[in-house]
């Protein structure tokens, strides 16, 4: 079962750069204040960018997570329908008793998992609307990726979070764009994405 899970997972990676987001890629050239860029367009629709990390050799993408106020490193997995904490790390994140075992949760295969209540979850500086997270034995997935990531991999972020926050993923740089508020992408005030001093200059010109 562990081998099946590790082999079947489909892993990819993808405003403001979210504050307090360690692990930013050296490749990231984020330009939300430059008109005509994808960054600027997404910023104007209310997206916030979260930097991703890339594993050495394999190209898997990982994101810095705060779960119940405790830091962790999670794989970004668009092939998983739910986000999961590795069973071995439940106590480290202060997760309480589970809400019962569930069957047939699609984590690259049929595996049994249970759900634990969550007090808080954040990706970078973006608060995630998540009241529960699945707990399962991810086996070789975390064992293999941990050394490649230069640290411990604690779980994975799946479609539940990505869909809820309208995720857009830039795989090359890499960046993960999320809308923090519970709303559709929609225009935000232009000064949110303006270069420093840009609005003051515009207002000054208008007053003349």
Give the pLDDT confidence of 40-78 residue by residue, as tens digits: 999 999 999 999 999 888 889 999 999 999 999 999 999
Pairing of strands 175-178, 168-170: antiparallel
Report d(CA 208, CA 202) in Å as an integer. Answer: 10
Mean pLDDT taken over the chain:
80
Report d(CA 60, CA 76) in Å as an integer. Answer: 8
Rounded percentage of the chain residues whose pLDDT exceeds 90: 56
What global pTM score does this model have?
Answer: 0.79
| 15 has a pLDDT exceeding 70 | no
Q: What per-residue confidence (pLDDT) applies to 28? A: 59
| 105 has a pLDDT exceeding 50 | no
More confident residue, 35 or 96: 35
Q: What per-residue confidence (pLDDT) applies to 134? A: 94
Report d(CA 67, CA 94) in Å as an integer. Answer: 9
- Which domains does the chain carry? 2-192 (2.40.70.10)
| Band (85; pLDDT cuts 50, 70, 90) | very high
| 185 has a pLDDT exceeding 70 | yes
Which residue intervals of 21-167 are DSSP H helices?
A: 38-44, 140-149, 159-164
| Band (150; pLDDT cuts 50, 70, 90) | confident
């Amino acid at each position: 079962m562990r081998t099946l899970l590790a082999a079947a997972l489909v892993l990819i990676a993808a405003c403001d750069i979210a504050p307090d987001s360690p692990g930013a890629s050296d490749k990231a050239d984020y330009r939300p204040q430059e008109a005509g860029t994808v960054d600027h367009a997404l910023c104007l629709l209310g997206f916030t960018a979260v930097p991703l990390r890339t594993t050495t050799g394999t190209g898997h993408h990982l994101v810095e997570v705060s779960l119940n106020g405790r830091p962790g490193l999670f794989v970004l997995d668009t092939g998983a329908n739910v986000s999961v904490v590795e069973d071995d790390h439940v106590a480290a994140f202060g997760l309480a008793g589970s809400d019962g075992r569930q069957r047939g949760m699609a984590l690259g295969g049929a595996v049994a998992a249970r759900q634990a209540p969550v007090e808080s979850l954040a990706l970078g500086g973006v608060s995630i609307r998540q009241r529960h997270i699945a707990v399962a034995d991810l086996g070789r997935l975390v064992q293999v990726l941990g050394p490649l990531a230069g640290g411990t991999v604690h779980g994975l972020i799946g479609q539940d979070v990505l869909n809820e926050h309208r995720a857009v993923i830039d795989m090359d740089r890499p960046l993960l764009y999320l809308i923090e508020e519970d709303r559709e992408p929609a225009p935000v005030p232009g000064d949110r994405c303006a270069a420093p001093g840009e609005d003051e200059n515009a207002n000054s010109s208008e007053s003349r």
